[in-house]
Amino acid sequence: MVMAITTEHNKVNIIDSIKRSTTYLAGIVVLIIIHLLIVNVKIIFNLEQQISPLHLVMMLSTATVLVLLGFYLARRISLNAVNNLIEYSNEIDTLLASKEQEIIKRKLAEENLEKSNEELSKTVIVLEDNITRRKQLEEQLYTLSITDELTGLYNRRGFFALAEHRLRIAKREKEGLLMLYGDVDNFKIVNDTLGHKEGDILLGDIADLLRETYRETDIIGRIGGDEFVVFPVGRDKNEIQLVTDRLAKNIDIYNAKRDNGYKLSISIGMALYNPESVAQLDGLLAEADRLMYEQKKRKKRILA
């Protein structure tokens, strides 16, 4: 900024010097012309009858001196103007070189900034990928923590978390809900006679059977070795028969398709949640479990 102001000042000085030189030279020329005109007028009109040679020499000398003086002053001023012009040109060159350096530095800074932005973008992408992978890993870990590895159903922890949330909604909406609690009949005999591998296959088949029988929105869990629970399967006691008949029908279809050396049988208990009561999930499970054992006892009495 300071260099630009100085350069502009020098430019003004050079212009002023050239103007002065032109003015001085023009003034001297005018003086010479006036002097010669006066001499010529005197000669033409015989204002002087006779001009001595000395007088003529003096006039010519005066004119010559004036011309030489004019040229000298003009040359001196012109040289100063030229020197100033050269200095001005050098300053312009310096300023241009400085500006060029600034442009180069700016370009380098822009290139470095662009590289930094690219590296930052890559870093952000890597961080986003890491965050995404971490979230996926956390989701996988959470899914594993609430899922039964053998059947793919919710384990006890997962079932309780989802069922308690469903109960809170039911209490707020003042709606009744049915819970189905099932226990596989004679599962110990299957394990003892056919082996644990066959027992695991049976548990997996039961999980598939429950998924086919009930809705995707129902919470289906394996909360014990051969104990299963589905919640909710209905809203009131009028749906109990429909729910149990649907399961019994699918069990009959399963037994008809497979010859495993045993018949699949499940004892079930149905408990109703009343939103007006203060019953909790544990109490609802206990009631369903009690009703399930009553059915299991009746089956044993029938067989006996």
Give residue-wise pLDDT tens across range 180-190: 999 999 999 99
Which residue range(s) make up the domain with 160?
156-303
At residue 87, what is the residue type? E
Query: Do 113 and 169 fall into the same domain?
Result: no
Query: Do 13 and 74 fall into the same domain?
Result: yes
Does 277 reside within a domain?
A: yes
Summarize pLDDT for 18-32 with one digit per residue, the tens: 666 667 666 676 676
Alpha helices in the chain (DSSP H): 2-44, 53-146, 156-173, 187-194, 196-213, 240-257, 281-303
**For residues 127-154, average pLDDT:** 79
Token pair listed for 129: 């990928």
Is residue 206 within 8 Å of residue 266, measured between CB atoms? yes
The burial of 140, by beta-carbon neighbours within 10 Å (0-12 exposed, 13-18 middle, 19 or more buried), is given as exposed
Is residue 39 within 8 Å of residue 59, measured between CB atoms? yes
- Structural domains in the chain (count): 2
Q: Has this prediction a pTM greater than 0.75?
A: no
Residue 259 forms beta bridges with which residues? none
Buried-exposed string 166-202: b where 16+ CB fall within 10 A, e elsewhere: bbeebbeeeebbbbbbbbbbebeebbeeeeeeebeeb
Nearest-10 Cα torsion for 216, 289, 196, 247 = -40
Q: Which of 96, 117, 138 is the last residue of a domain?
A: 117
Does 124 reside within a domain?
A: no
Q: Comparing 70-79, 142-151, 226-235, which segment has the lowest mean pLDDT? A: 70-79
Does 150 reside within a domain?
A: no
Is residue 169 within 8 Å of residue 261, measured between CB atoms? no
**For residues 39-68, average pLDDT:** 63
Query: Do 82 and 169 fall into the same domain?
Result: no
pLDDT greater than 90 at residue 208: yes
Q: Which of 66, 86, 117 is the last residue of a domain?
A: 117
Q: Which of 89, 117, 145 is the last residue of a domain?
A: 117
Token pair listed for 2: 């300071």
pLDDT score of 185: 95
Q: Higher model confidence: residue 48 or residue 294?
A: 294
